[in-house]
Amino acid sequence: MGNVFEIAVIPGDGIGPEVVAEAVKVLNFVTNGSENKVNLTEYKLGAEHWLQTGETLPDETLEALKKHDAILFGAVGAAPGDTRIPSGLIEREMLLKLRFSLDHYVNLRPSKLYPGIESPLANPGEIDFIVVREGTEGPYVGNGGSVRTGTEHEIATEVSINTAYGVERVVRDAFARASKRERKHVTLVHKHNVLVHAGHLWRRTVEAVASEYPEVTHDYLHVDAATIFMTTDPSRFDVIVTDNLFGDILTDQAGAITGGIGLSASGNINMDRTYPSMFEPVHGSAPDIAGQQKADPTAAILSVALMLDHLGLSAEARTVEQAVEKEITSRQELTDHRTTREIGDAIVSLLA
């Protein structure tokens, strides 16, 4: 007896609707004919929606979203120069509000250099690591303010919040994931030589949790040095655990070295399953290429694979990943770039 999974779909802004259309095609195809079904409900949210309605994320919408089994998210946000929308409004009051309200404490961002993908690195080696980015704390929580705003005496703060509870649960998740991987290695990335209070909490937590996982090795890198190794020796990484802001920055870099941000998937995961998890590409709304069918939908499609895994549909998840790998290989033989739709169609045809 199969299940029916209720999936909320939030296409969002810019290339969001374009890449989500392809991801939905793949999701429908891979579940069609299987005993597990998906029932999709679309929600209009984002910068365009705010311009039309003045709404960011109304409470009723949040409550409705909570009733779903998972959320498939595209991207939100305006072009940096768009003065009609206050900078950060949609990111904070819609996207981060969702991640915080649904307690998405594990922001899982895998990076893999697929065969046939060209890395900008001269000697990329084998790249296959995951970043376990803390998703609900750090400098993202909005604990700050500005006094004497606009004067030469302005003081602006953005306080990074790190709780023992929040750090421990994400560090535990990283070690648990590492213990199931071949190399079984965790790298803590922080900056405890300067950010001593938060840094030492992270460090002590890693040491304590590591003692429960004797089979998992671990090391530490300051975030500045981590960016060096991400470029010179990325194959050293297996599982990186880090705070919300460092994880944001490192995962864009990780995308760049593995062939581009258009391939980077992510899951905002509530491991306790008290609320639905949300799956989305790492990239944003890319206003520079929006509406032109230039966006690579692979990140959104691989986010569907992460979602299927989370829902317990691992056979379907592997099917999607294998079709993506084959499509990436077949791209190399083409002289023209595939459009967003063509990539989605090619992946669907490889699922058949």
Ligand X SMILES: CC(C)[C@H](C(=O)O)[C@@H](O)C(=O)O
Q: Is 70 one of the annotated binding-site residues?
A: no
One of 191, 238, 243, 309 is an active-site residue; which one? 191
User: Catalytic: 191?
Assistant: yes
Helix (H) or strand (E) holding 227: helix 223-232
Pick one of 13, 48, 248, 309: the residue that binds Mg ion (CB under 5 A).
Answer: 248
Q: Is 289 one of the annotated binding-site residues?
A: yes
Calpha distance 281→4 (Å, rounded)? 24
Positive or negative torsion for Cα 61, 67, 68, 73: positive
Give the 3-state secondary structure of residue 262: helix
Question: Quick one: what does residue 96 bind among ligand NAD, Mg ion, ligand X, none, with the CB cut-off 5 to 8 Å set by partner type?
Answer: ligand X
- 210/256 with CB nearer ligand X: 256
- Distances in Å between the Cα of 289 and the Cα atoms of 7, 36, 44, 167, 251 are 27, 35, 21, 37, 21
Window contacting Mg ion (CB under 5 A); options: 41-49, 131-139, 181-189, 240-248 = 240-248
- Which 71-90 positions form the footprint of ligand NAD (CB under 6 A)? 75-78
User: Catalytic: 165?
Assistant: no
- Which 295-334 positions form the footprint of ligand NAD (CB under 6 A)? 295-296, 299
Per the DSSP assignment, residues forming a β-bridge with 109 are 131
Residue carrying structure tokens 């840094």: 199
Work out how close the CB of 73 gets to ligand NAD at its nearest, in angstroms, rounded to a whole number.
Answer: 7
Pick one of 262, 267, 276, 344: the residue that binds ligand NAD (CB under 6 A).
Answer: 262
User: Catalytic: 66?
Assistant: no
Calpha distance 298→325 (Å, rounded)? 10
- 210/289 with CB nearer ligand X: 289
Contact residues for ligand X, defined by CB under 6 A = 77, 91, 95-96, 248, 282, 284
- Which 170-229 positions form the footprint of Mg ion (CB under 5 A)? none
Calpha distance 313→59 (Å, rounded)? 31
Give the 3-state secondary structure of residue 99: helix
Calpha distance 7→310 (Å, rounded)? 12
User: Catalytic: 219?
Assistant: no
Calpha distance 68→258 (Å, rounded)? 32
Are 22 and 56 spatial neighbours (Cβ–Cβ below 8 Å)?
A: no
- 106/216 with CB nearer ligand NAD: 106
- 90/127 with CB nearer ligand NAD: 90
Q: What is the Cα gyration radius of the chain?
A: 20
Closest CA to 330 of 320, 339, 343, 319: 343
Closest CA to 201 of 160, 249, 153, 236: 160
Question: Quick one: what does residue 270 bind among ligand X, ligand NAD, Mg ion, none, with the CB cut-off 5 to 8 Å set by partner type?
Answer: none
Window contacting ligand NAD (CB under 6 A); options: 59-67, 162-170, 171-179, 281-289 = 281-289
Please report, as ranges, the residues that interact with Mg ion according to CB under 5 A: 248
Q: Which residues are catalytic?
A: 140, 191, 224, 248, 252
Which residues does the annotation place in the binding site for Mg(2+)? 224, 248, 252
Please report, as ranges, the residues that interact with ligand NAD according to CB under 6 A: 15, 19, 75-78, 91, 95, 261-262, 280, 283-289, 295-296, 299
Which residues does the annotation place in the binding site for substrate? 99, 109, 133, 224
